[in-house]
């Protein structure tokens, strides 16, 4: 391949410039802000560098000025992690059978199902979560349905619980997982599967020894595609979780709303990014191990 | 594929159907309830379209819609032009160049929206830029560029380089080659990219929530505000309308890209 | 005859490759001739063609078209047009628009364009197809549109890059005749690239045989066939028999060679052109199957058993085995009686001028 010609560089320059100015620099700015002191009514005081924001993640000061360990924020991170992990696993569990089913369909049918799966993905996240409010609230359609069927007598009180957040997250991110899973399964050379059956393997063997390992890289990619945004989710926990299942996203937003602690908000966002980078590195590591054992 | 059927039986089919139902029940519920006559929303009392009338009559909603459309249109225009230029600059370039460009371009898609939102807020406030339509447009362009880019790039990659050579061979200058051959053949990709970009911009909430100001409320931000104050039938109707618009747009995008792909696939006959 | 294209000392190595794609190629292509670049894949023929068109530039050496050195002139400024192997028809344009494209680029007036397009449609028998898009045409039709598109601007030279390779056999043979006819009718210099030696022999005025970026031989078809300049050309073009031998004696231009194929018996042949092979040196004698004739056993030069005879109407091809197992292919007229020969020993003869000698 030739080195990039001047013309090519000129063509890509606008995008590179734009993203540097509006993505890289803001991120760097955020890093810098996290090391400044908060100003009383929001914003920051330029000049003094301090690690106060980061300190706040783990410690708090009482009125006498003593530092003590504060596990609240860690708990929120842990909860976010847990919810994101559960959501990822749930979407995986739903996606694999769904995608397997889709591979049995004719090309046209499969394309149609793919279309059906994609449509919710492109509609507004707020609206979709709002629909769940209607369903999960006391006296909402779920309660009405179950009571009408005679299965329950009172409201289930699902809305504004971590369960509701989990349902919302799973719902929001399911298409993110079905698509890559289907693509990964569809890509497998059919002859390998035929050969496996020819050699006498039963369905489970074929699935676990041939199909899933081959599709694993694509499936893992889907898992990352779900986990990453899920960890930083804002809408589902905000609308469906009430104040009781705060995730990192809500915490960050609060720093720029009511709490007015910008450096802390920036610090939180950066820790989120760091956690995600770790997750991505873990994924890379797993991928490489998988390629080696394949 | 008969052999695939060995892999997937009724169990999988059931789960798949359940998944589809799961995906669509909320949407169907939302739309159905938007026609509810009373204002208790979830307790049905009769069919009515009055909430739609209320929505269409609400000047705040109309203004928010107008803002959304303006932002989406401008951001899409900027993003599509930039994405087209980028795709052209990368298609015959070294893999290092392409890797670098695509890496940077994929950042807005990889970084969680909340982080991007905060970072952009930092940028605007700390450089003294007022939070208004302009800040929203600039913010939206950031994620619209990658959305527009990938369909264009994939279409460009599928373009036979011999076609450009043939055009040159037939005396077309570089500019003419671009305008008469590359651009028309790319147009489906550009259209798809623009549409994806438009839909993402219209539907964006988190980033917009952070970088918009009082006069630059977009529809999602407005809806959020309404939901916060309580579940009302207007929100329901508005949400249903929004949903419908998204579905129509994505269907159009799907149909057009499919039709173009079919034409392109029907290459030289034996 | 004037020179249409002068190629001198052209060398090209592609980045990332250690072998030269073109290694010092010089040749002149004359005006109004049907010139073919022939060779196996990887020999550089397509690279050379693309260089004439301007899609590649030589590392060393130069190309002049109509006396004007091209240097790094881009393709859109060269008076040559190309018919691509994949046709490269513009999928979003109709047949008419495709054919008219070059003329539009050249800024010709609309009337002139319309007339010329109609001429091309007539010339290439594309009537009724003018509004179709390439996807709606058969392979043969697409090929003709590609031709029409390239011929419309009346180029000085038409370059054709294996244009017939995608066609089925029957269509291919028809197009070979059609192309030849077109070339003679328009008088345009055609430079044709193919790996099919039969096709080359059938269509060309002159052929350049290439291998590994070098010219193996350049000449008229009859010359290439009857008097191959080296073993590669002898083997690549047509069928040939290769008989190992040793040069026993030289007589001026010619010489006497002892064939190594016949075991104890001393079989010697006097060859008209000994190709400067030294006495005592090893050689290979090459003779075409149709120049070997049957001879009575007693006076025949070579004997062999005939296990196989392949009859194909006009021809009868014998696969004879000589004493040491060497295969001798003999092509006879189909009128010869087959059962007579198969399974028996037969005698073969050949004349001194029919044999070419090459040093090994």
What's the pLDDT tens digit per position in B130-151?
899 999 999 999 999 999 999 8
B-facing residues of A in 250-279 (CB < 8 A) are 252-253, 256, 262, 265-266, 269, 272-273, 276
Cross-strand pairs, C3: C30
- Which chain C residue has its CA at the smallest distance from B164's CA? C88
pLDDT (0 to 100) of residue C16: 81
pLDDT (0 to 100) of residue A89: 93
Q: Which residues of C286-297 are buried (b: 16+ CB within 10 A; e: fewer)?
A: bbbbbbbbebee
How many other CB atoms sit within 10 Å of the CB of residue B27?
20
Q: Which residues of C247-277 are buried (b: 16+ CB within 10 A; e: fewer)?
A: beeeeeebbbbebbbbeeeebebebeebbeb
What is the distance between the alpha carbons of residues C127 and C99, in angstroms, rounded to a whole number? 13
Query: According to DSSP H, which parts of chain C are helical?
Result: 45-53, 95-105, 110-123, 139-151, 169-186, 197-203, 221-226, 231-236
Rounded to 5, what percent of chain C is helix, strand, coil? 25, 35, 40
**ipTM of predicted complex:** 0.84
B107 has a chain A CB within 8 A of its CB: yes
Secondary structure (DSSP) of C214-243 = EEEEEEEHHHHHHS-SSHHHHHHSS--EEE
pLDDT (0 to 100) of residue C295: 84
A144 has a chain B CB within 8 A of its CB: yes
Number of helical (H) and strand (E) elements in chain C, helices listed first: 8, 20
Contact C75 B176 (CB under 8 A): no
What is the distance between the alpha carbons of residues A9 and C82, in angstroms, rounded to a whole number? 30
User: Is the confidence at residue A255, as pLDDT, over 70?
Assistant: yes
Q: How far is CA A81 from CA A165, A287, C173, in A?
A: 13, 21, 71
Closest CA to A87 of A161, A158, A169: A169
Contacts of B15 (CB under 8 A, 6+ apart): A94, A97, A98, A101
User: Can you tell me the mean pLDDT for B241-266?
Assistant: 76
What is the distance between the alpha carbons of residues A165 and C274, in angstroms, rounded to a whole number? 94
pLDDT (0 to 100) of residue C147: 93
- CB of B60 closer than 8 Å to CB of B225: no
Q: Which of B166, B173, B269 comes nearest C84 by C-beta? A: B166
User: Can you tell me the mean pLDDT for B62-85?
Assistant: 94
Residue length, chain C?
A: 360
User: Is the confidence at residue B214, as pLDDT, over 50?
Assistant: yes
Domains of chain A: 87-261 (1.10.3720.10)
A141–chain B nearest CA distance, Å: 6
What is the distance between the alpha carbons of residues B39 and B45, in angstroms, rounded to a whole number? 9
- CB of B142 closer than 8 Å to CB of A18: yes
What is the distance between the alpha carbons of residues A80 and A57, in angstroms, rounded to a whole number? 15
Distance, first Cα to last Cα, chain A: 31
Q: Enter the DSSP assignment of A210.
A: I
Which among B92, B159, B171 is the top mutation candidate for probing chain C, defined by the most C β-carbons within 10 Å of its own β-carbon? B171
Residue with tokens 């989406």: B72
User: Is the confidence at residue A64, as pLDDT, over 80?
Assistant: no
- CB neighbour class for B211 (10 Å; exposed up to 12, middle 13-18, buried from 19): buried
A210 has a chain B CB within 8 A of its CB: no
Higher-pLDDT residue of B126, B70 = B70
Q: Nearest 10 degrees: CA dihedral of B58, B62, B64, B70? A: 180
pLDDT (0 to 100) of residue B268: 40
Residue with tokens 């018919």: C83
Contact A14 B9 (CB under 8 A): no
For residue C165, give the H/E element and its range: none
User: A46 by DSSP, 3-state: which?
Assistant: strand
What is the distance between the alpha carbons of residues C269 and C260, in angstroms, rounded to a whole number? 11
B75–chain C nearest CA distance, Å: 29
Contacts of C277 (CB under 8 A, 6+ apart): C247, C250, C255, C283, C357, C358, C359
Q: For chain B, what is the mean pLDDT?
A: 85
How many other CB atoms sit within 10 Å of the CB of residue B133?
18
User: B266 by DSSP, 3-state: which?
Assistant: coil
Contact C53 B169 (CB under 8 A): yes
Q: Which of B8, B85, B113 comes nearest A103 by C-beta? A: B8
Cross-strand pairs, C348: C294, C302
B252 has a chain A CB within 8 A of its CB: no
Higher-pLDDT residue of A143, B14 = B14
A217 has a chain B CB within 8 A of its CB: no
Phi, psi of C255 (to 5 degrees): -175, 170
A293–chain B nearest CA distance, Å: 23
Query: According to DSSP H, which parts of B133-268 are helical?
Result: 133-157, 161-169, 174-176, 183-203, 206-211, 219-229, 233-265
Phi, psi of C77 (to 5 degrees): -110, 10
Q: How far is CA A66 from CA A37, A50, A55, C127, C329, in A?
A: 19, 17, 13, 95, 105
Summarised one tens digit per residue, pLDDT across range A202-229 is 777 777 778 888 888 888 888 888 998 8
Higher-pLDDT residue of C218, A139 = C218
CB pairs under 8 A between A and B: 285
What is the distance between the alpha carbons of residues B110 and B197, in angstroms, rounded to a whole number? 16
Which of A157-171, B243-257, C84-98 bottoms out in mean pLDDT, i.e. has the lowest? B243-257
User: Is the confidence at residue A263, as pLDDT, over 50?
Assistant: yes
pLDDT over 70 for what percent of chain A? 92
Which tokens hold the place of B265?
């696939």
CA C228 to chain centre: 13
The model's pTM: 0.79
Q: Report the DSSP pairing between strands C206-211 and C34-38.
A: parallel
pLDDT (0 to 100) of residue B2: 46
Q: Which of B1, B7, B231 comes nearest A203 by C-beta? A: B7
Which tokens hold the place of B152?
């264009």
Q: Grade residue A155 by pLDDT with cuts at 50, 70 and 90.
A: confident
User: Can you tell me the mean pLDDT for B77-99?
Assistant: 89
A204–chain B nearest CA distance, Å: 8
Which residues of chain C have a CB within 8 Å of the CB of B266?
135
B128 has a chain C CB within 8 A of its CB: no
Residue with tokens 């980078």: A277
- CB of A260 closer than 8 Å to CB of B125: no
Q: How far is CA A95 from CA A147, B12, B164, C286, in A?
A: 30, 10, 42, 69
Q: Which of A11, A29, A94 comes nearest B85 by C-beta? A: A11
Q: Which of B162, B176, B185 comes nearest C84 by C-beta? A: B162
User: Can you tell me the mean pLDDT for B182-193?
Assistant: 89
- Which chain C residue has its CA at the smallest distance from B183's CA? C92
Which residues of chain B have a CB within 8 Å of the CB of C75?
165, 168-169
- Which chain B residue has its CA at the smallest distance from C154's CA? B170
User: Is the confidence at residue B70, as pLDDT, over 90?
Assistant: yes
Q: How far is CA B102 from CA A13, A138, B108, B193, C295, in A?
A: 12, 47, 11, 15, 76
pLDDT (0 to 100) of residue A169: 92
Which residues of chain C have a CB within 8 Å of the CB of B171?
76-77, 102, 105-106, 153
pLDDT (0 to 100) of residue B86: 93
Contact B11 A97 (CB under 8 A): yes
pLDDT over 70 for what percent of chain C? 99
Starting at the edge strand found earlier in the chain, the sheet holding C241-251 runs: C268-271, C254-259, C241-251, C282-287, C355-359
User: Can you tell me the mean pLDDT for B48-57?
Assistant: 81
What is the distance between the alpha carbons of residues C260 and A292, in angstroms, rounded to a whole number? 58
What is the distance between the alpha carbons of residues C208 and B71, in angstroms, rounded to a whole number? 64
For residue B212, give the H/E element and its range: none
Q: Enter the DSSP assignment of C135.
A: G
Q: How far is CA C245 from CA A270, B39, C271, in A?
A: 84, 107, 12
Q: Report the DSSP pairing between strands C355-359 and C345-349.
A: unpaired
Which tokens hold the place of C73?
């002139």
pLDDT < 50: residue spans in chain C: none
Which among B24, B33, B83, B112 is the top mutation candidate for probing chain A, defined by the most A β-carbons within 10 Å of its own β-carbon? B112
User: B106 by DSSP, 3-state: which?
Assistant: helix
- CB of C63 closer than 8 Å to CB of C10: yes
Sign of CA dihedral C129, C134, C137, C139: positive
Contact B19 A94 (CB under 8 A): yes
Which tokens hold the place of B39?
């204002």
Domains of chain B: 59-266 (1.10.3720.10)
Which tokens hold the place of B219?
């529809």
């Amino acid at each position: 391949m030739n080195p990039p010609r001047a013309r090519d560089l000129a063509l890509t320059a606008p995008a590179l410039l734009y993203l540097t100015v509006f993505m890289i620099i803001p991120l760097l700015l955020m890093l810098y802000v996290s090391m400044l002191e908060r100003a009383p009514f929001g914003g920051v005081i330029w000049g003094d560098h301090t690690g106060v924001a980061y300190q706040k993640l783990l410690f708090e000061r009482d009125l006498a000025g003593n530092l003590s360990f504060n596990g609240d924020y860690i708990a929120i991170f842990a909860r976010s992690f847990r919810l994101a992990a559960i959501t990822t696993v749930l979407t995986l569990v739903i996606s694999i059978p769904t995608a397997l089913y889709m591979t049995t369909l004719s090309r046209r049918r499969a394309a149609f199902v793919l279309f059906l799966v994609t449509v919710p993905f492109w509609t507004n996240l707020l609206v979709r979560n709002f629909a769940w409010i209607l369903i999960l609230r006391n006296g909402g359609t779920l309660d009405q349905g179950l009571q009408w069927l005679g299965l329950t007598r009172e409201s289930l009180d699902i809305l504004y619980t971590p369960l509701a957040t989990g349902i919302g997250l799973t719902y929001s991110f399911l298409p993110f997982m079905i698509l890559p899973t289907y693509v990964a399964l569809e890509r497998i050379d059919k002859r390998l599967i035929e050969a496996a059956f020819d050699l006498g393997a039963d369905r489970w063997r074929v699935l676990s020894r041939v199909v899933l390992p081959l599709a694993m890289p694509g499936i893992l990619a889907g898992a990352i595609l779900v986990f990453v945004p899920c960890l930083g989710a804002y809408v589902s926990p905000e609308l469906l979780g009430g104040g009781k299942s705060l995730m990192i996203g809500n915490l960050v937003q609060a720093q720029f709303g009511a709490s007015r602690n910008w450096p802390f908000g920036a610090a939180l966002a950066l820790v989120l990014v760091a956690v995600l980078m770790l997750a991505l590195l873990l994924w890379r590591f797993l991928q490489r191990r998988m390629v080696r054992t394949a | 594929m008969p052999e695939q059927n060995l892999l997937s039986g009724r169990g999988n089919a059931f789960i798949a159907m359940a998944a589809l139902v799961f995906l669509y029940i909320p949407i169907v519920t939302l739309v159905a309830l938007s026609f509810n006559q009373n204002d208790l929303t979830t307790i049905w009392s009769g069919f009515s379209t009055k909430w739609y009338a209320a929505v269409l009559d609400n000047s705040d909603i109309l203004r928010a819609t107008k803002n959304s459309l303006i932002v989406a249109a401008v951001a899409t225009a900027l993003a599509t032009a930039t994405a087209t230029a980028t795709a052209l600059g990368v298609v015959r370039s070294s893999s290092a160049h392409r890797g670098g460009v695509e890496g940077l371009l994929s950042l807005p898609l990889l970084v969680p929206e909340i982080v991007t939102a905060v970072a952009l807020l930092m940028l605007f406030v700390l450089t003294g830029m007022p939070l208004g339509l302009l800040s929203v447009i600039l913010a939206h362009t950031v994620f619209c560029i990658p959305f527009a880019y990938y369909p264009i790039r994939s279409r460009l990659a599928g373009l036979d380089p011999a076609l450009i050579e043939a055009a040159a061979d037939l005396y077309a200058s570089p500019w003419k080659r671009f305008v008469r051959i590359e651009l028309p053949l790319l147009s489906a990709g550009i259209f798809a990219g623009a549409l994806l970009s438009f839909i993402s911009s219209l539907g964006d909430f988190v980033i917009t929530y952070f970088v918009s100001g009082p006069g630059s409320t977009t529809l999602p931000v407005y809806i959020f505000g309404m939901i916060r104050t309580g579940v009302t039938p207007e929100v329901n109707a508005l949400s249903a309308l929004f949903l419908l618009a998204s579905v129509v747009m994505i269907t159009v995008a799907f149909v057009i890209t499919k039709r173009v792909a079919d034409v392109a696939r029907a290459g030289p006959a034996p | 005859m004037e020179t249409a294209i002068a190629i001198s000392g052209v060398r090209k190595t592609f980045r990332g490759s250690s072998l030269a794609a073109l290694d010092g190629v010089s040749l002149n292509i004359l005006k109004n001739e049907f010139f073919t670049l022939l060779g196996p894949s990887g020999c550089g023929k397509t690279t050379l063609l693309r260089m004439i068109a301007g899609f590649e530039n030589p590392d060393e050496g130069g190309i002049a078209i109509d006396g004007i050195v091209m240097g790094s002139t881009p393709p859109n400024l060269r008076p040559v047009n190309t018919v691509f192997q994949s046709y490269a028809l513009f999928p979003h344009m109709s047949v008419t628009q495709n054919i008219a494209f070059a003329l539009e680029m050249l800024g010709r007036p609309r009337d002139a364009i319309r007339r010329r397009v109609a001429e091309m449609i007539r010339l290439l028998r594309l009537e009724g197809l003018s509004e179709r898009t390439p996807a709606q045409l058969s392979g043969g039709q697409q090929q003709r549109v590609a031709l029409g598109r390239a011929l419309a601007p009346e180029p000085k030279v038409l370059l054709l890059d294996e244009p017939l390779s995608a066609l089925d056999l029957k269509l291919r043979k028809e197009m070979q005749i059609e192309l030849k006819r077109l070339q003679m009718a328009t008088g345009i210099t055609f430079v044709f690239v193919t790996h099919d030696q039969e096709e080359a022999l059938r269509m060309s005025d002159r052929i350049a045989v290439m291998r590994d970026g070098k010219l193996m031989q350049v000449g008229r078809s009859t010359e290439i066939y009857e008097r191959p300049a080296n073993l590669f050309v002898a083997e690549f073009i047509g069928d040939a028999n290769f008989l190992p031998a040793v040069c026993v004696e030289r007589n001026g231009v010619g010489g006497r060679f002892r064939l190594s194929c016949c075991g104890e018996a001393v079989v010697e042949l006097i060859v008209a052109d000994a190709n400067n092979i030294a006495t005592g040196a090893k050689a290979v004698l090459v003779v075409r199957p149709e120049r070997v004739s049957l001879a009575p056993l007693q006076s025949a030069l070579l004997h062999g058993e005939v296990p196989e005879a392949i009859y194909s109407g006009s021809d009868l091809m014998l696969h004879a085995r000589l004493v040491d197992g060497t295969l001798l292919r003999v092509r006879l007229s189909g009128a010869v009686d087959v059962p007579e020969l198969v399974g028996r020993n037969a005698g073969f003869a050949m004349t001194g001028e029919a044999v070419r000698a090459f040093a090994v």
